[in-house]
Amino acid sequence: AQTVTQSQPEMSVQEAETVTLSCTYDTSESDYYLFWYKQPPSRQMILVIRQEAYKQQNATENRFSVNFQKAAKSFSLKISDSQLGDAAMYFCAYRSARYDNDMRFGAGTRLTVKP
């Protein structure tokens, strides 16, 4: 089974600074998607960024960007110019492009933003 590992249960960043959240995954497939979701205190899961495995270019969404290293099976999230509203749980997720039921989530990283 595919696994997703987030090795940082908690992270902290000063407002306006940059923070990187780590994620590694295990798969034998070549075609898949990777995601970062944000879960604020409201508990809704909000899509932050999406990466297609066959694309070498790293995805970016405004202040959010990823460092996708396919060979190393690493998918880190960089948040630039951190804002108080970025405080949340962040989940890394893997989804097979072939098998609909195969989506795995990491255990999450709780991000605190200090004013």
User: Which residues sit at the interface with other proteins, rule CB under 8 A?
Assistant: 33, 35, 37, 42-47, 50, 91, 93, 95-98, 100-101, 103, 105-108
CA distances (Å), 23 to each of 11, 35, 42, 67, 115, in order? 13, 10, 23, 10, 26
CA distance 76 to 74: 6
Least distance to other proteins, CB of residue 61, Å: 13
Closest to other proteins by CB, 84 vs 107, is 107
Which residues are CB-neighbours of 71 under 8 A, at least 6 positions away?
Answer: none
Least distance to other proteins, CB of residue 15, Å: 25
Closest to other proteins by CB, 44 vs 57, is 44
Least distance to other proteins, CB of residue 97, Å: 5
Closest to other proteins by CB, 44 vs 62, is 44
Least distance to other proteins, CB of residue 39, Å: 9
Q: How many C-beta atoms surround the C-beta of residue 53 within 10 A?
A: 19
CA-based radius of gyration for the chain? 14
